[in-house]
């Protein structure tokens, strides 16, 4: 049997992915070892191998077939726009992509003025403002702590992930509009989906029972 390779997202999603896999009887316990510098883990019995990658790299590994399957956030799938199949909503990591800012920015947003939008997700922001709101905006790409942008005057609003809303509250910002709901998804390489159809289908059935 051919080895089925999984690319998992490092960080917040990793732990929950391993929890789900273990519940479904897919053991990759060595991956929980935070000390290890090992990059790839093999479960010989199941003919599966697993590696951790940065979120935005997961769809890349899957599109090129270096991984058959990826577990990654919907935000990253939308932002990266890779050719792959999204086959399952794993439900964990649930949050929302939102347009946020100070209450005073609502007026600017509604009057369709040329505003600046700071975000880690320029494609999602562009799609939302251009295609859904039909509004021309200046998009400024940042790499983290996006909430700083409207506070220090870099932008009027941000497009960012809201989970508990604590970061916004602690910084005097609000959700002004919702772009879309997000959660962890399973993605599959397009060729693997055909070649390993049966195995992947039974994996989905197995995982679905645990969600």
- Where along the sequence are the contacts to ligand PRP (CB under 6 A)? 120, 144-147, 160-167
The phi and psi torsions of 127 (rounded to 5 degrees) equal -60, -45
Taking CB positions, which residue lies at the least distance from ligand PRP? 144
- Name the minimum Å distance from CB 108 to ligand PRP: 22
Burial class (CB in 10 A: 0-12, 13-18, 19+), 119: buried
- Name the minimum Å distance from CB 146 to ligand PRP: 5
**Residue placing its CB nearer to ligand PRP in the complex, 147 or 156:** 147
**Residue placing its CB nearer to ligand PRP in the complex, 83 or 91:** 91
Q: What angle do CA 24, 71, 8 make, to 5 degrees?
A: 90
**Residue placing its CB nearer to ligand PRP in the complex, 163 or 197:** 163
Among residues 148, 144, 136, 151, the alpha carbon closest in space to that of 104 is found at 151
- Name the minimum Å distance from CB 209 to ligand PRP: 29
Q: What is the DSSP string of 23-68?
A: HTT---GGGG-SS----EEEETTTTEEEEEE-GGGHHHHHHTTSSS
**Residue placing its CB nearer to ligand PRP in the complex, 131 or 166:** 166
Answer positive or negative: Cα dihedral of 58, 62, 63, 66: positive
**Residue placing its CB nearer to ligand PRP in the complex, 144 or 153:** 144
- Report the distance separating Cα 185 and Cα 79, nearest Å: 14
- Name the minimum Å distance from CB 186 to ligand PRP: 21
**Residue placing its CB nearer to ligand PRP in the complex, 48 or 162:** 162
- Name the minimum Å distance from CB 93 to ligand PRP: 11
Instruction: Quote the DSSP letter at residue 133.
Output: S
Among residues 59, 64, 40, the alpha carbon closest in space to that of 51 is found at 40
- Name the minimum Å distance from CB 180 to ligand PRP: 15
């Amino acid at each position: 049997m051919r080895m089925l390779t999984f690319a998992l997202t490092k960080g917040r999603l990793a732990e929950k992915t391993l929890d789900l896999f273990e519940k479904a009887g897919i053991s990759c316990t060595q991956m929980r070892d935070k000390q290890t510098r090992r990059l790839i883990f093999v479960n010989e019995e199941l003919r599966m191998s697993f590696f951790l990658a940065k979120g935005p790299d997961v769809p890349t590994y899957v599109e090129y077939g270096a991984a058959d399957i990826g577990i990654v956030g919907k935000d990253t799938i939308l932002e990266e726009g890779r050719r792959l199949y999204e086959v399952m909503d794993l439900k964990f990591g649930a949050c929302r992509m939102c347009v946020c800012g100070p209450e005073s920015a609502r007026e600017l947003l509604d009057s369709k003025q040329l505003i600046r939008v700071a975000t880690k997700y320029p494609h999602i922001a562009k799609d939302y403002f251009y295609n859904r709101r039909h509004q021309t905006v200046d998009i400024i790409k940042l790499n983290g702590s996006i909430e700083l942008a409207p506070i220090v005057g870099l932008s009027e609003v941000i497009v960012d992930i809201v989970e508990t809303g604590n970061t916004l509250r602690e910084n005097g910002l609000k959700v002004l509009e919702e772009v879309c709901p997000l959660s962890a998804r399973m993605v599959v390489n397009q060729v693997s989906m055909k070649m390993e159809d049966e195995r992947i289908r039974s994996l989905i059935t197995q995982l679905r029972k645990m969600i």
